[in-house]
Amino acid sequence: MEWALIGASTIAKDYVINAIRAQDGHSVRTVMSSSAERGAQYAQEQSIPHSHTDLDAILADPDVGAVYISTTNEKHFPQAMAAIAAGKHVLCEKPLAMTIEDAVTMVRAAEAAGVTFATNHHLRCSSSHRAIRDVVAEGRIGRVLSMRIFHAVHLPPHLQGWRINDAGAGGGVIPDITVHDADVTRFILGEEPVNVVAQMAASGMGSGVEDSAMSVWSMPSGAMVMTHESFTHPFAGSGLEVHGTEGSIFASGVMTQQPVGEITLVNEEGRTALPYSNHDLYVQGLADFAGAIRGEGQPAGTGWDGVKALAIAHAVRKSAETGAREAVNYGGAA
């Protein structure tokens, strides 16, 4: 399977090229950049044979079987629709699109075309998150009462561009990080919020978009979820907690791209460290995607997972804007 990278991005360079190349028989054939010069330099630095500025030329190449879309967020929809129309498998970055309607359209188009479509929600590929999900699903903490996610980080200087000052490109911490927390919540609890209340702030990084958000979500089971996302917290650390009637899970340092962190189960028997493997999150995501192309299971994050995470993030931003409790509109997601 030869891949085209749509977007000469940091995430492709730092994680996804390696993850593609880690799959048997998968390679990166070409990269698309809006700048011929940057694309050529990126291709050279990453040992990619070709670079293009023309998406149609890439999609017309019969040797390209799959595309990885990691451009800025407003470009995901048109690029994914073009790739699907060309019959390519699509691994798309989060947030899938700028609107729920567009995200639903992408996923339905992929289903109609019979191509594999996935959302790159990497955290559900983490062994730590999978271990937490299993403990919850096995009932080891009893009935879940609440979950708290701490995802206030400090955006590194080299990423302080469109994310912090360009609403048109899909900037802001809510489309960037709240979508991940939405996906993690759904993944671990196995249910999705009905409504949310939220506040957001521009606390000092960038302009024109929020750099911090806090929200509380109501789950169908009655459980409550609290999340905190920010670009401006250099020393906060990350983590999540799940509290149930029979036990609590404390996971520190796990809201990250690295396979790190500590998970402790606390119950009547005391404190138990939960083991997990340290596989690369992105390699796992690509393995699941490659398997789905072969007809073996689903991608780790499906298109519908991407739609639902986006829907929750949109409800968070809407609630922060209106000051009201907002129902999550899943747009008819399956």
Contact string 266-305 vs ligand NDP (x = CB under 6 A): ----------------------------------------
Residue 225 CB-density burial (10 A; 0-12 exposed, 13-18 middle, 19+ buried): buried
Nearer to ligand NDP, 223 or 312 (CB): 312
Q: How does DSSP classify residue 23? A: S
Does 30 engage in binding with ligand NDP (CB under 6 A)?
no
Q: Which of 71, 128, 212, 232 binds ligand NDP (CB under 6 A)?
A: 71
Q: Which of 80, 93, 243, 310 binds ligand NDP (CB under 6 A)?
A: 93
Contact string 110-149 vs ligand NDP (x = CB under 6 A): ----------x-x---------------------------
Q: Which of 21, 38, 133, 318 binds ligand NDP (CB under 6 A)?
A: 38
Stretch that binds ligand NDP, among 31-39, 206-214, 262-270, 319-327 (CB under 6 A): 31-39
Does 8 engage in binding with ligand NDP (CB under 6 A)?
yes
Residue 13 CB-density burial (10 A; 0-12 exposed, 13-18 middle, 19+ buried): middle
Question: What would the two tokens of residue 241 be?
Answer: 């907690």
C-beta of 51: minimal distance to ligand NDP in Å?
10
Helix axes 76-85, 100-113, angle to 10 degrees: 10
> What's the one-letter identity of residue 187?
F
Helix axes 179-189, 127-137, angle to 10 degrees: 40
What part of residues 158-197 is at the interface with ligand NDP (CB under 6 A)?
A: 159, 161, 176
Q: Taking CA 242 as the corner, what is the angle to CA 237 and CA 248, rounded to the nearest 5 degrees? A: 105
3-state DSSP assignment of residue 278: coil
C-beta of 63: minimal distance to ligand NDP in Å?
21
For 240, what's the count of Cα atoms within 13 Å in the CB-facing half-sphere? 26
Binding residues for ligand NDP, rule: CB under 6 A, are 7-11, 33-35, 38, 70-73, 93-94, 120, 122, 159, 161, 176, 257
